[in-house]
Structures are given as C-alpha cells and as structure tokens.
Structure 1
Amino acid sequence: MLSFILLQATSPQPSEWALFLGRFHPLIVHLPIGFLLIAGLLELDRVTRRQRVSSHTITLILFWSAVSATMACIFGYLLSLGGGYDEQTLNYHMWEGIGVAVFAWIAWAVKHERIGPRIRLGQLLYFPALGLGILLLLAAGHEGGSLTHGSDFLTQYTPEPLRSLAGIPPREQTVEDIPAITDVNQAMVYQQIVHPILKTRCVQCHNPEKSKADLRLDNPEMIKKGSEDGPVVVAGKADQSRLMKVCLLPEEDDDHMPPKGKPQLTENQIMLLTWWINQGAPFDKRVAELKVTDDVKPALASLGSGAATGSQQVASGPAPESPVLTMKLPAADPKAVEELRKTGLLILPLSKEQNQLEVSAVNARTFSDAQAAALPKLSQQIVWLKLGDTEVSDATLAQVAQLKNLQKLHLEQTKVTDAGLKNLKNLPYLEYLNLYGTAVTDAGLKELAGIKNLKTVYLWQTKVTDAGVAELKKAMPNLEINMGLGESSIAQFMKADSSAPEPDKAK
C-alpha cells in the first residue's frame, strides 16, 4: 500500500484506482470518530465513577480506532489527489488526521497489557495521548467540514450578539436573504435569478475552499475568470459556453454537471441560464433592460409573486400572447379529473381565476397509451401537458389531438415517432413542443410545418439532420429550434476550446 501511495504522489494524473478508493474516505472517517470518542467516554466514566470497565475492552476499542484512523488517512490522501480543495485547509486537515492516528496508536500501545509495561513511563503518556487524539479529532472534523461545506459552515447563521462577541464578520448574503421578486421586470438578472441557481446547484463544488477544475462560481469575477481549461461562459453564445454544455450532457456522462446524485437543474433553470448568457451574461442589468424572448417568459413568470409591468409583460403563467390562456373555459368535470389522478398524473390549475389546467406525469413514469384514453375528457381545460419520460407512443397522440386548447406539449424521452406527429396538425394553439430524445426524423419535421402557431421546438438527441432543420426553418422562419448538444456543436466547441489562448495571454 505504501508503494502504491508513493507511486500516486509521483504520477501527474491519479489513476482510477486512486480516485475510486479515495471516495471511501467519507465512509471510513466516521469509524475513528466513534471508536476514539467511546474510548474517551469509557475512561472518563471509569475515573469519575470508579466503574469497573474491562481494560481489554478499552484496548480493543483503541486498536480499532488506530487502525481506522490510519485507513482514513490513506483514503483521504487518495481523495485529495482529485484536486479542487483549498491547499491550506487541506494541509491542516491532513496533519490533524495523521496526528489522530499517531496518538491513537500511542494510547493503544500504552494501554496494551503486554506492550504497555515495556514502555518506560508509559502510564504517564496514556491520558495525554488519548486527550490529544480526541482534540485533534475535533479539529480535523472541523477542517473536513470546511473542505466539504465551506469555512463558515458552523458559524454562518450565528445570531447577534454572539457574532459580535466572538469577533465573527457580518454574515454574507445567502439565497434566503435575496429579496423576493415582486416585479419580474425590475428584478436584477444576476443577483436575483442567476446567482440563486448557481448557489443551490453549483457552488457547493465550486467555491473558495473547494474549486473543482479550478473553477469558482460564487461571484462574478470568478465566473468571468473561468476554469483551468479557460472561460466557461461565452457572452452571447450559450451553445458555446461550457457551463451550459456540461449541464445538457446525459446524466450518466462523467462530465455532466451537477454530478449524478446531486440536485439537478430544472428545465426552467436551464432556460434562464441559457437566456442570461445569450443576452450577454450581464451582472448589472434588470430583466426590463434585456430582450425577453417568448420561450423564457414562462420561466421568468414562475419567479415572481406579483404582476409585472412595462413593455415586456411577463404575467403569471406562460406567455400571455396566447389567447387560450385568457379565454373563458368551463370548469373541468370533477369525475374526469379524479380519473386522471388515479393514473398518477398531477393536475394543477394555471390560476385561481380560470379553468385552464396543467397535467404532468412527473410522478407517473409508467403512464401508458391505455391510460391516455382519459385525456380527451378534459379536452377543453388541458393547456399544458407534460408526458416526458413516460411509456406513451404514437397512439397517445391520437388522444392528444383532441385537446383543442393545448398550448405546451412535452414528449421528451418517449416512444413517439414521425407517424404520431401527424396528429398534431390541427391543434390551433400549440406553441411549444419538446421532442428531446425521441426517434423523430426529418420526415416528422415536415409534419410540424403544418402547426401554424408553433413557436418553440426542442430536438436534442433526435434523428433529425441539419438539412431537415434548415427546411423547417425555411418553412417557418420565426420558429425557434433548439438542437441542444449535437455532435457537430460538440466538435466545434472542442476545436475552438483547444485552439483558444490561455486566459492570462488572452488579455
């Protein structure tokens, strides 16, 4: 094992074995914490209350505390090879951890019934070694928490007057402190929209104490600086910005961010970040100062608690230009609503004053064509239908065709094909269509050309070609076609990225 560690120390890049074993450090590190604290408590109980605790029991506990502390040091070192940690904090944590292991071994050796008597003045060393081991354990735990959660994790919410008495600096603004958005148009785009998204999804791994890939996303200066590979935001070009590219990769991809298992960006959050970058990635602009495109209006509207004003109206709900969102509709049949809810669908009104409904399969991944037969019973009220990641196919689109007031349709990651798209031609209000991850081809795009009010279509990871997209764009010049991360765009990005100058030289 020692030769393995020395080999890693001289290697320019850690091996997969090193990174794999290093990930076990957070699991192993809890063992010496428990063992050493138990040993300390048993000794305290024995001394203060004269309890008859077996010396062999305490010796055994100390042995395993020393072994697990040593293993924690080894695996912690392997974890550190991945980089991205504040060097000073990491060094403190490392040497404190090594101290825990050393003093645990000393305490065990002195306490051992055969080894202890052979150590001169051994009994005098026992309690100091045990005490120092526990103190270093607490210190190492604090530094480890700082590496993982930030240096102010324990003190961030210290209230006054304790904060002043302890000499703790004034608390920095958190997401909870950001003023609520009451007028979307007057909201500061970075401070009130972009920063909260990055804070909750990205900053945990890209902060002053832990900057994976030498990237920090906690303030404008660091965002502009980018990572060790160069800029992550290309102002005006979201499709060329690494920040967005890694978010749009499949979740199983090693480069996908946030990592699998972490809270992922929502569709609205991706839309807002994309819009911000395409508008030049400003850090000092309000929403009203930027061009608000139709596709981002629903995402912006979801942020506000009040009505927006000004020339760029962003009402509560989707884009207000669609007449179906303001027309008077009859109330939904309660029996039909209940029937759909039994299939697992989530049914929500778009507003309290009107009867338009959003129907979502976010919690009904097994929703099928057979169950879709109940959709037409709410043919007038359903205006948003989200069937992404379900088991529906072309047969369901025959039922969807009866939803005459449908404005937004999600079919991403379903079995829908070109044949099913023919059913959508006669939906007069359909403006948004998401076909990400389906088997749709250029032939299906020809069917979309007949949907006169269609404004936005998502075609990531479909079988359409650039030629097919060009034909659709020619037939519908005002249609926004989002292709996400195609192979060509990835290749172009990598080519541009490899030829880009170093950040300091670019200046």
Structure 2
Amino acid sequence: MRTWKTLLYNLAFAANTLLLFFVLAEQWVVIPSWLQVAGRMHPLLLHFPIVLLLLLLIFEWMPQARNNSDGMDLLWLGTLNLTVFSALFGWILSREEGYGSDAVTLHKWGGVFLSLFALVWYHLRKWMQSRRIPLSVSSALMIVGLILTGHQGAVLTHGDDFLLAPVKGTESSPPVAFEDAIVYDHVIQPILEAKCVSCHNSSKAKGELVMETAASLLRGGKNGLLWDTTAKEYGLLLQRVHLPLNHKEHMPPKGKPQLSDEEIAILYHWIKSGSSMDGKLADLPETDSLRLLTASLFVSGEEAVYAFSPASESVIEKLNSHYRIVQPIAAESPALEVNYFGASQFKPEELKDLLQIKEQLVHLNLNRMPVTDEDLELLKQFPNLRNLNLSFSGITDKALPVLKQLPSLRELSLSGTAVTTAGLSSNPIPVKSLYCWSTGVKPEDVPTLQKAWGETRLETGFAGDTILIQLNPPIVQNDEQIFSQPFELKLKHFVQGADLRYTLDGSEPDSLQSPVYKGPITISKSTQVKARAFKKGWISSATVSRQFFGTGGKPDSIRLLTAPDPSYKGSGAQTLIDEVKGDGNFRSGKWLGYKDKDLEVQVEFKEPRNLQILSVSTLVGVGSYIMPPKEIQVWGAEQDGKPQLVAKEIPRQHTMDTVQYQKIYSVKLPEKKYKQLKIIVKHLPVLPSWHPGKGTPGWVFVDELFFE
C-alpha cells in the first residue's frame, strides 16, 4: 500500500510540475503530431476528476469516511492524477490551430488551478479536518473553480452562456417584414449560427475559420476562401456540405446538427447569385429561386396573424380555372391570393364567385383586367383584403372613395390607370404603399400628393433624365507584374469620350491635375499605377490600382540564415527570387512563414551592383494572426566584409481587424554598389491587446524580394 501511495504521489507531483512548466513556457513548446492524440482524449478524461473531486468534498465532511485512511489516500491520489493528466491533455489540445481566445485562457488556467489546489489540499487535509473554517473556504473554492472552469469549457464547445441559458431565457427577435428582410442578416446568418458557429467562432476557430460576422466569412480560413463561383461546386463551403456524412471533412461534423436539404439549397442559391451581404430579399426577381425558398419565412408588410379558419379545399378547387388561380399565400397559411389571367376571357360578374372565400381573400391581382369603377363595389365585402393590384385596368377617380372603405388594405397599385393628382389628393387611402406610375400624376405633383397621403410610400416610377451613372474603372491591359526590362503601360475604356487620368506615384488621380492618358506609357522601375475615368454628365469611376515590380536581376547567391516554419517553407530561399507572386492562400507553397523567429536572408553578387531600392512583398491577414512586419532592416557591404545597417523601414500596425491583403514595402537604399546584403524581416513578437490572440506571437509571410 505504501509503495502505491508513493508511486501515485510522485506521479501527481511530477505531472503538476510539468503542467506548470508547459503553461508558463508554452510559446517555446512545439507539440509533435503523435502527441496530439493525447490532447484529443481531454474531453473523454475530464469528466472523471470532476465527479471524484465533488465526491471527495462530500467525504471530507463525513467522519466515518475519513476513518478509512488508506482508502481515502488512494482515492485522493487517483483523483490527483486524473485531474493533472486531464489538465495536461487539455493544454496539449489547446495548442492545436483554432484555439486562441480568452475563453481558452480562462479554461486552461482554471484547470491548472484545480490541479495545483487539489495537490495542496491533499497535503493539508489532515490539518483541515479539525478546522471547519479552512475546510469550508477550501470546499467553496473548489466548487467555484469547478463551475467556472467547466463553464469556460462549455463556452468553447457549445457557445456563450451555455450554462445559464435555461434560466436567462432567450429573447425572441421581432418578426421581419418580407420587404425589409436582408438576405444575409435574416436568412444566411441564422443558418450559420445554428449549424456552424459553435465550432467556428472567436473562441474556437476550427481551421482558423470564424463565421460570426460577414467580414470573418469573407476572410475564410486556413484552407482559403469559403466560396468561389468559378470553382467546382462553387467552392469549399458547399464541397464540405455535400461530402458523405462519415467523411472526416464533412461539415457540420457527424454528431452535430446537420443542415437540412432546404438550408443547403438556400446556401447554394445565395452563393450562386453573388453572396450579397446587404441585398434585400424583395429586390430579387419574383421567379428567383432564393426568393421562392425563403419568402415563407417572413410576413408581408406588418406582421399578419390571421384568426380566420382556412377555406374548404373543395371550394378552392372549384374556383380555380384556366384564367383564375386561387392559392395560399404561404405554406400552411389560411390566407389566399387570387390572380386573373387573359383579359379577353375576364367577366366582371365572376368576381362574385370570390364571395365564397371573402374571409380568406388577402391578395387580389386584377392587373390588365377590364375592371370598371362599378365592379369595385363588390370589394367592400372582403374584410381582410390587404393587397390589391388594379394596374392598367379601366378604373378612374370615381373608384377611390370605394377603395377608401376597404378596412385592411395595405398595398394598392393603380399604375397605368386614369386616376389623377386631384382625385388622389382628395381621397387619401391609409395604405403602406401606393404605386401610381404611368398615371396622371406628374413629377411636379408628387410633393403635394405626398403631403396628402402622409406616411404612405409613393412609387411614381423611374425618371432617368435626372440620374447620373457612374463610369466603370479603366482597364489595365498589361498582365505582367514583374519585369526586368522597360515595358509600355496600356489603359483602355469602353465608353467613348471618357478621359483616363493616371498617376505613377501612388497618389489619387483627379480631374484637374493628373495627366490624361493619350497612349502607351513607358514603365522602367517599380511603379504603383492608379487610374480613373472622367466624362461630363457621368459620375467619375472608382480608382483602379496596379503595382508593377522592376527587378535589376537576381542575386548570384541567396541563403536563409533562419529556417521558416516547417508548414510554410515554400521552396526555401529560392522562393524569394523565383519571380512568382504568391496569392491569398498562404498554404500554396509560394510563401515563407515565420512566427517564433525573424526572417533573415543573405544575398551576394559576384560583382558589386548599384542598388537604390529593395522591395519586400508580404501578406497581411490579421484574422489569421499574420501581421505587418515589426521592422525591416537592410545591412549592406560594398566588398567582402562585415555588413553595416544601411536602411530600415517600420511598417504601420493595425488597430483593428481587416480583410486579408498583400503589401509591398520598398526600402530606399543609399545609392552605391553592394557586394552583399543581409535582409531582416522581423515578426511581431506579441499580438496587441485587442487581438483575439493577444499575448502570442504574430506571423510574418514573405514571398518575393525585388532589387532595383
């Protein structure tokens, strides 16, 4: 028994020492892939010590349990080992990609506290057994530690407020009118929150992917962007969704709530249509698949709660014909809409047939039907009629007093009819929207009419003579970005008579001072070209920008003085002079990545070379912890000998998250002939306090060096 006690105690003490060392020195510790298996056992192991610690708290208050000294000692020692190894495995798991938030930090240190606190308790338990106050305080600390640590773990796996959600309740969002529904905010984001965000949030960014906001979605994750309308299956998101459920890359993972077929279809049509983040559902064409799939999720206009019972199916079937369609406005709704087709077959007396569904009739479309003022008297018998379309019918101002008596009317279309400004002004109807284009209402009458109709939204049609259209940006016809010989820059525009104005110094072109493009321009050195199009009567275009990199030739030799991270080693030193620009995917093999050390590279020339500028091409992805360099230093030697610091650049750091982009830093060198250069690109050693990974090192990625 003594041997077992000694063995278990020494194991617990050594493991706690190792745990404390790891959490204090974690930025220097590298976890091999085979050890990650132990880390993934953390969720399996952690439940045992939680139960045992609570059980021990109970036993410590029971004298009869404390009398069994050997049994209690073994139970304590076993619990100590389970606790510390659960904390150790959790720390290993936290070192995987995607864990870097405050919740992980609190959960990690909570586990360390519980493990060390339990070890101290074991040493002092004999002393505390006869002292109620220390025992009470220790018990309270243990319970609070277990609750807080467990809660932070639940936040990582189930989201914020998982523990208190049942008592806090949920706040239901107010119903959204179809006319106000934003496709992303009210359709796409709720799907992602329900099925994706639990694993892809700022606390637990699996695959370095955060799906909480539109900006983080557009940024993508470690495997690149989530969608691409030119790619197979429109990109990564839909590819993962359509994988077999048992496939390891299927999303959501097996065991998590899965996307329904309807939700997958909604995501597909949203991506296919351009994945707009601010477009309205009502702006989509009426036959658009995305609109048809989601329209039933919203109410039309103000919230509609219909107290009436549905009409008989036999009545609806009887009313349907080749020229009249009667159908529910939405699935399982008792409200009905009626559409008429074929003006030559329309008979006004057939409107009386609709009295069989007078309670259920909500939308009535009589567009282009030969309806007269007298025919509308019947409509006063439809108490729930909300939407009435009389466009291009035969009604006049005489029908307006009748329409004013419809108690539930909310949307009225009179476009293309003979109504006049005078008639409408004297008979304002309390509706939400009035469509009156192609009528007797003239543009100059609209202010008067709007005053009479109050808050009603008036749709009077499009007046193109007062609209200015924005020009498209100019087109840069040159494909090459890197050049060793001077070349001719070519710009063009498809609108005849548009002036193309440009700059070659990175400044913004204007319509007065910037030169006008009249033909090819010779580019002989690294240049940032900006151009805009201007034309009288048009809004000037957005600016098009293109960076061209001149190279005075490759150095005769290049070698890395510090090795890049093994995951981002590219083609070694040759990556920096292969004249192949990297793209937005930092895992493409075209980048060198550094985190725990600075990039240091030495280049040499057989013959001294006259250099004026060194350009360093970098990638910045704040959400992926890839920051601008802290500093760029250039050390140079004119002949064989020890290089001296000749120039440096301190890039501006970000103060908030931003989209991923590429950035070229050009360092001006003292003009002389260099035999040798040493370039140091420093990574940011500690991410700022506003960053989710605050306190950890930032990455720096470089793909090319240019010598001019």
Which TM-score applies when normalising by structure 2?
0.37
Which is richer in helix?
A: 1
Which is richer in strand?
A: 2
Which TM-score applies when normalising by structure 1?
0.50
| Bigger Rg, which one | 2
